[in-house]
Amino acid sequence: MPSDLPAYALAPPRSLYVHIPFCESKCSYCAFNSVGREHTPSGQISAYVDALIRELTELRIHQPLETIYIGGGTPSILDRSSWNRLAEAILRHAPLEAKAEWTVEMNPGTLHDAKLRDYRSVGVTRISLGAQSLDPLILRSLERIHSPEDVFRAVDRIVEEGFPSFNLDLIYGLPGQGLQSFESDLDALLALDPPHLALYNLQFEDGTTLSLQRLGGHVEEEREEVQIAMFTSACERTAAHGLLQYEISNFALPGHRARHNEVYWENAPYFGIGAGAWGCVGGVRYRNVCSADRYIKRIEAGESPRDENDVLDRDALFLESLVVMLRHVNGIDKSLMEERFGSGCLDESIPLFQRWIASGWMHWRDGRWALTQAGQLVSDSLFLELLP
């Protein structure tokens, strides 16, 4: 165990991420660790859930967890029997605090009333729904399996089922989207009164169908000035609905921030289980083997599913903390960083921060450095400047 790490990095994790790497079919822009049903052998999902349960059991979690996030892939692809086995294992082997947040990601095309009831009845508190767009042509071009009507129906059911919170994902900067259509989608989603909205800028990831289509000249990236206009408009429209931006891509009503994701932005430890899942425990950041098949085989053979085990380095952890904290509106808390990494730890960064402040990209307020909206728009290049 690395001994020179700050105590917070060695504290027992209070969060658990569970990865479900299966989808009905692969979306054209998706580079997540997931496979479509056509590449999933019969019986594999059930065997995968058995493996997840075994990995979870072997974590021997004693401390009560504050958050659980079941993501993917498409967790809502699990049939009721697989879900019930997984949920039972979580309730048995992952003790939850009384006010724990438990999120399940859902694709509107996999909505199933009985599944939603199952989630709620075991204590799921939050559904994260991948709406992505409300334009039928765009949804089709992205190879999403749902229609705009599926999104509306899913939100109705989530609200009727009484989940304390839910999130809607929306993508901007899609080929052929245009500012007007984006704004009209956003307005329609905001009219559903979501307590939380996550707004993602489309990335052309290597190896995706969409990226190939761009290389072949069949689709074009949205112009940068349009993407900036979309982001700026989204910040205004969400604020008008009382959804406050608390991270570059995330907006929430008071009391509805995604607590699980805040663990990542604090660079705090967490458990991760499942194929391709990352975790960070005891000063080691690990990643499980990505293939569901190899994951199952390793667990069945009693072997560790971990493919990468990086012992955290104090300097690298410090820099990572700066980057993830700058994504959050709370920014970099000077006292907190000094408590964690020692007094004077920010001395070398301050001249850079002063330059950013002079450029209008950062502000210094109440003992914190945080990005302005102008800084958020160029955050990727700012983060590169922070790294050695």
73 binds ligand SF4 (CB under 6 A): yes
Interactions with ligand SF4, residue window 10-39 (CB under 6 A) = 23, 26-27, 30, 32, 34
Contacts with ligand SF4 by CB under 6 A: the residue count is 11
Nearer to ligand SF4, 24 or 333 (CB): 24
72 binds ligand SF4 (CB under 6 A): yes
Residue pointed to by tokens 């050695």: 388
Minimum separation from the CB atom of position 58 to ligand SF4 (A): 26
Residue pointed to by tokens 């921030």: 257
User: How far, in whole angstroms, is CA 18 from its chain's centroid?
Assistant: 12
107 binds ligand SF4 (CB under 6 A): yes
Distance CA(138)–CA(154), nearest Å, equals 19
> Segment contacting ligand SF4 (CB under 6 A): 59-67, 68-76, 78-86, 351-359?
68-76
Sign of the torsion formed by the C-alpha atoms of 109, 113, 115 and 116: positive
- Asked whether the beta carbons of 125 and 103 are under 8 A apart, the reply is yes
Nearer to ligand SF4, 32 or 204 (CB): 32
C-beta atoms surrounding 91 within 10 Å: 12
Interactions with ligand SF4, residue window 212-231 (CB under 6 A) = none
Minimum separation from the CB atom of position 201 to ligand SF4 (A): 15
Nearer to ligand SF4, 67 or 110 (CB): 110
Nearer to ligand SF4, 22 or 231 (CB): 22
Q: Which of 15, 40, 67, 74 binds ligand SF4 (CB under 6 A)?
A: 74
6 binds ligand SF4 (CB under 6 A): no
Minimum separation from the CB atom of position 28 to ligand SF4 (A): 9
- Asked whether the beta carbons of 97 and 103 are under 8 A apart, the reply is no
Nearer to ligand SF4, 66 or 169 (CB): 169
- Asked whether the beta carbons of 331 and 370 are under 8 A apart, the reply is yes
> Segment contacting ligand SF4 (CB under 6 A): 71-79, 220-228, 311-319, 335-343?
71-79
Nearer to ligand SF4, 34 or 238 (CB): 34
170 binds ligand SF4 (CB under 6 A): no
Nearer to ligand SF4, 26 or 314 (CB): 26
110 binds ligand SF4 (CB under 6 A): no
Interactions with ligand SF4, residue window 117-136 (CB under 6 A) = 130
141 binds ligand SF4 (CB under 6 A): no
Residues that bind ligand SF4 (CB under 6 A): 23, 26-27, 30, 32, 34, 72-74, 107, 130
